[in-house]
Structure 1
Amino acid sequence: MGRRIGLAFLALVITLLFGTTGLMVTEHLSLAQAFYFTVETITTVGYGDFEIKSDAGHVFIIILMIGGAGVMLYFAGLMMAFLIEGQLAGAYGRRKMNKKIEQLQDHIIVCGAGRVGKQVLYRLRKEGHPSVVIELREDLAQEFIEEGYLVIHNDATQDDVLKKAGIVRAKGLVTALPDDSLNVFVTLTAKGLNPNIQVVARMDRLESENKLLRAGADKVISPAILGGWRMAMSILKPISIDYIETVIQDHNIEMEIMELKVDQGSCLIGRTLTTSGIKQQTGAMILAIVRENRVISNPSAQEEILERDLLIVLGLRDQLRLLEKVAANHTKLKPVDFG
């Protein structure tokens, strides 16, 4: 469509130049008069304020009326089609996107698609987790629509907007707006609409942390603090930081951290980390055990796994999927031979 409009516009410009030059030659009009009469002719307005006097002028005007009017009508038709199709496509696209959002369950809502929100969305996509972004700036909203994200172009502080994003069905919400007061307001609103939703909030000023926690945020993150820590560690312990970044960011390694809840009936209950065979048979490594709000870091090999424990596990993607399947399906691992 764009190429056709460009060619039609070029043809229109050539027609205007042709008509203006021809009238200046045949009727001896000034540049302004010739251009005006050319536009008047090809738009079929015909005010009658100019009179053609020569036979050559009459012949030229007939050619201009037939050819020029056709070019003008073609160009106008393309422009109308472009505008109408664009509006229809936009309306259809928004309707289709809204239907997809209405079907989401346990998704993540990201409020704000700026520098921080953008990285959150990219990570969620890499992990394959469904998400909806709410962004007020039209250019950012359009950018993420073109990248295939589900986007609501509106104000995230409004109740109706959060409801439209499926706040009641959502698993979590990340508020990464550039102003701490807006993040406090979004947190309050989100918790009011869904008290069980997990909220992670961005903060820029240290004094905002308590306000966000009182508003109901489950976790408050400062990009400045994290960035400063990372820069300091990159100076003090560059090899360790490079390794961690490689593990986390290298797509080829596919190393991940998983939270595995030990449910009732799991084959892992009552076994120690050694006798469970997790490390030996899946290759995954237990980093910590969260038990009744207590964190057991670097648990010993003789630590017993209890029902409702939350295992923090590190491993390759396939290793974690295997462990998850074993725990979920209550399938016993092979006994570990210590003989």
Structure 2
Amino acid sequence: MLIEDYSLRDALWMTTITLTTVGYGLVKPLSVPGTYFTIFLSYAGLALILYALGLIGALIVEGDLFDLLGRRKMKQEIAKLRDHIIVCGAGRVGKQVIERLKKERTPFVVIEQEEHLFNSLLEEGVLAILGDASMEEVLRKAGIERAKGLVSAIPGDANNVFVTLTAKEINPGITIVARAERKESEAKLYRAGADKVVSPAIIGGQRMAISIIKPASVDFVDTLVCVEDVELEIEELLIADGSVLVNKDLKNSGIREKTGTMVVAIQREGKLKPNPGPEELLQSGDILIAIGTRQQLQKLEELACGRCKI
């Protein structure tokens, strides 16, 4: 437009056919400066196109393009999560949490700060976020407002305290299970807002002692909570308001006869009643802790939820 006094439309047309190497013809003859400018524009456009193609090729060869597309898809999947679990830390403890959540088919997302652990999670197809779980923006990316639970399994008690405080501040109603390395840190984690504090060292030591004293008992418990591909499972089931189990004692509830499951404990108003007697009266809101096969537990779930009649 400046050199040849073209209109905007003609200048745009000439530039387009030059850069695309179509070259239909001149709108009008070019002056000497216009000719040199067209030569420069042609080479510059060709160089830009070659550079762009090379960049795209490098991204494809190095896998970065697929990685970027994969991370974008992962962000979209995380944004769709509701009532999920957030696992903070994918180390030795966090890895066991992840495997159990996979087995239970519970939706979850992992926050991991170490890049090599983060990349290994991506290779396994696990929804994950690279970042510091104690940062508010990272927790929000994991959907902390929509999550029903959070497991803080980061090394270092101070880190877990900070994660707990931040998570409770954003979502006061979320259930938090935190890892404690030292016994004296448990009280601090509870004050920070943790609903349950687990010390792998203490539990591991106690289990080792019981394993040597009562090995058969430990093996049985392992089949319920640790071993994969076993017939028996343990489950928690809430008795709904419309359930036929309400106001019936265990003996006359028909649970054993109709489902084949065994109720080993009842949780009522936050208190646990292990090994309830046959005269124990079931109430709405009770949580039954039962043992049975998957099919048997599904039958009990139908009774507890009020979808079946005895």
Bin of the TM-score, shorter chain as denominator length = 0.7 to 0.9
Q: Which residue does the alignment assign to 1:160?
A: 137
Counterpart AA for 2:163: V
Counterpart AA for 1:321: Q
Deviation at 1:83, TM superposition (A): 3.0
Query: What does residue range 1-339 of structure 1 map to in structure 2 within 5 Å?
Result: 81-84=57-60, 86-333=63-310
SS at match of 2:160: helix
Q: Could you list the per-position Cα deviations for residues 106-155 of structure 1 after superposition, in whole angstroms to 9, with x for gaps in the alignment?
A: 11000000000000000000010011000010000000110010010111
Distance in 1 separating the partners of 2:55 and 2:211 = 56
Greater alpha carbon shift after TM alignment, 161-170 vs 238-247: 238-247
Q: Could you list the per-position Cα deviations for residues 209-246 of structure 1 after superposition, in whole angstroms to 9, with x for gaps in the alignment?
A: 11100000000000000110111011111121122213
Distance in 2 separating the partners of 1:293 and 1:253 = 30
- Contact kept in structure 1, 2:86 and 2:151, CA below 8 Å: yes
Deviation at 1:308, TM superposition (A): 1.5
Sequence identity percentage = 53
Equivalences, count: 257
Counterpart AA for 2:207: R
Q: Which residue does the alignment assign to 1:21?
A: none
Specify every segment of 5 or more residues in structure 2 that has no aligned partner in the other structure, as ranges.
1-52
Distance in 2 separating the partners of 1:165 and 1:108 = 9
SS at match of 1:109: strand
Counterpart AA for 1:83: L
Distance in 2 separating the partners of 1:245 and 1:182 = 30
**CA separation of 1:91 and 1:332: change in aligned 2, threshold 3 A:** same
Distance in 2 separating the partners of 1:254 and 1:185 = 40
State TM-score, norm by structure 1.
0.73
Specify every segment of 5 or more residues in structure 1 that has no aligned partner in the other structure, as ranges.
1-76, 334-339
Distance in 1 separating the partners of 2:271 and 2:206 = 25
SS at match of 2:251: coil
State TM-score, norm by structure 2.
0.79
**CA separation of 1:81 and 1:278: change in aligned 2, threshold 3 A:** same
Q: Could you list the per-position Cα deviations for residues 234-271 of structure 1 after superposition, in whole angstroms to 9, with x for gaps in the alignment?
A: 11111211222133333332422222111111110111
Counterpart AA for 2:74: M
Distance in 2 separating the partners of 1:248 and 1:158 = 33
SS at match of 2:303: helix
Kindly report structure 1 stretches of 4+ aligned residues shifted beyond 4 Å: 77-80
C-alpha RMSD of matched pairs (Å): 1.6
Deviation at 1:163, TM superposition (A): 0.4
Q: Could you list the per-position Cα deviations for residues 128-185 of structure 1 after superposition, in whole angstroms to 9, with x for gaps in the alignment?
A: 0011000010000000110010010111110000000000110100000001100000
SS at match of 2:291: strand
Greater alpha carbon shift after TM alignment, 287-296 vs 262-271: 287-296
Deviation at 1:84, TM superposition (A): 4.4
- Contact kept in structure 2, 1:248 and 1:255, CA below 8 Å: no
Deviation at 1:87, TM superposition (A): 2.4
- Contact kept in structure 1, 2:224 and 2:234, CA below 8 Å: no
- Contact kept in structure 2, 1:284 and 1:319, CA below 8 Å: yes
- Contact kept in structure 2, 1:108 and 1:132, CA below 8 Å: yes
- Contact kept in structure 2, 1:162 and 1:190, CA below 8 Å: yes
